[in-house]
């Protein structure tokens, strides 16, 4: 029996017996690096917050910068009152606009990339519209769509649209023609080439634009609420600022920051799933298997 196992090991290619050990060692190293990164981030956040708290009323006046403990206390009180109501309104404005803007931006980029002549016709018009500062359109959107949620949704969607549109268009146009030629030689149809070769190759551009669009969409909703609104986090931040309540305003900004971080973590998981075919760059630093 032992001789059989020895013969089986001898039949393996050189170095193949260590492949599984190398993979386990690499996975263990990745887990250690992940926990190390999280620990360093947490330590840095605690250090910055501690420095801020210590400096309050020593190095700067709490009236202008508040403090982490004051913000935490205000957040608890606000959560027991109407935080959830205003948060839901802002999230609805942001993500309805974000969803519509990213979908239309990606769809438009795909269409103009596939139909080159149509892209050349519409290019100066799209460039002209993109040249308009979107924030400058906020007062017009409020006039056209009212002070309710639609005006904020349109503004958030417009800020998301152009980021996703240009990223999709650039990503599709930058695909190496050799990939398309190889797919054609292998008998792939145009539809198969697009969905199996071109779109996956451009997906890093698209996912990156989707991640960048999140804070822009949130900015659109908040600016719209600054202009004219009766509810929402932007409305509350504006109200706190008018009352010189720095703690309330900074608490609102903190909540917005947490929203962006949470949604970006979701997009990071989506990116990992969509780009699972792409080799991990960190794997290049592993041991070479010969």
Q: How far apart are CA 204 and CA 209, in angstroms?
A: 9
Contact 216, 101 (CB under 8 A): no
Q: How far apart are CA 153 and CA 288, in angstroms?
A: 52
Q: Which residues contact 204 (CB under 8 A, 6 or more apart)?
A: 171, 275, 278
Q: Is the pLDDT of residue 117 over 70?
A: yes
Q: Is the pLDDT of residue 39 over 80?
A: yes
pLDDT, tens digit, 9 for 90 and up, residues 54-102? 888 778 777 788 888 888 888 898 888 888 888 999 999 998 999 999 9
Q: Is 1 helix (H, G, I), strand (E, B) or coil?
A: coil
pLDDT, tens digit, 9 for 90 and up, residues 244-283? 888 888 898 899 888 888 888 888 887 777 666 666 555 4
Mean pLDDT score, 190-211: 83
Q: Sketch the domain layout of the chain as residue ranges.
A: 2-54, 66-278
pLDDT, tens digit, 9 for 90 and up, residues 96-105? 999 999 999 9
Pick among 3.20.20.80, 1.10.1740.10, 1.10.3720.10, 3.40.1080.10: CATH of 66-278 = 1.10.3720.10
Q: What is the pLDDT of residue 286?
A: 42
């Amino acid at each position: 029996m032992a001789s059989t196992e020895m013969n089986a090991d001898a039949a393996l290619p050189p170095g193949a017996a260590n492949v599984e050990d190398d993979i386990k060692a690499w996975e263990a190293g990745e887990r250690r690096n992940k926990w190390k990164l999280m620990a360093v981030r947490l330590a840095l956040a605690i250090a910055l917050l501690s420095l801020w708290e210590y400096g309050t009323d020593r190095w700067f006046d709490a009236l202008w910068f508040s403090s982490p403990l004051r913000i935490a206390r205000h957040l608890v009180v606000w959560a027991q009152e109407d935080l959830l109501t205003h948060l839901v309104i802002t999230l609805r404005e942001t993500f309805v606009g974000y969803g519509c803007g990213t979908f239309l931006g990606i769809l438009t980029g795909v269409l103009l990339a596939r139909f080159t002549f149509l892209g050349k016709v519409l290019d100066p018009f799209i460039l002209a519209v993109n040249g308009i500062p979107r924030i400058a359109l906020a007062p017009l959107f409020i006039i056209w769509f009212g002070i309710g949620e639609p005006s904020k949704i349109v503004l958030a969607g417009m800020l998301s649209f152009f980021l996703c549109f240009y990223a999709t268009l650039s990503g599709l146009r930058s695909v190496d023609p050799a990939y398309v030629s190889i797919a054609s030689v292998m008998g792939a149809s145009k539809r198969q080439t697009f969905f199996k070769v071109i779109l996956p190759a451009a997906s890093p551009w698209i996912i990156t634009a989707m991640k960048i669009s999140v804070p822009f969409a949130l900015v659109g909703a908040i600016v719209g609420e600054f202009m004219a609104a009766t509810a929402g986090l932007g409305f509350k931040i504006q109200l706190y600022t008018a009352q010189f309540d720095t703690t309330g305003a900074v608490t609102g900004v903190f909540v917005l920051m947490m929203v962006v971080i949470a949604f970006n973590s979701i997009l990071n998981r989506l990116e990992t799933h969509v780009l699972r075919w792409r080799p991990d760059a960190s794997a290049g630093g592993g041991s070479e298997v010969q």
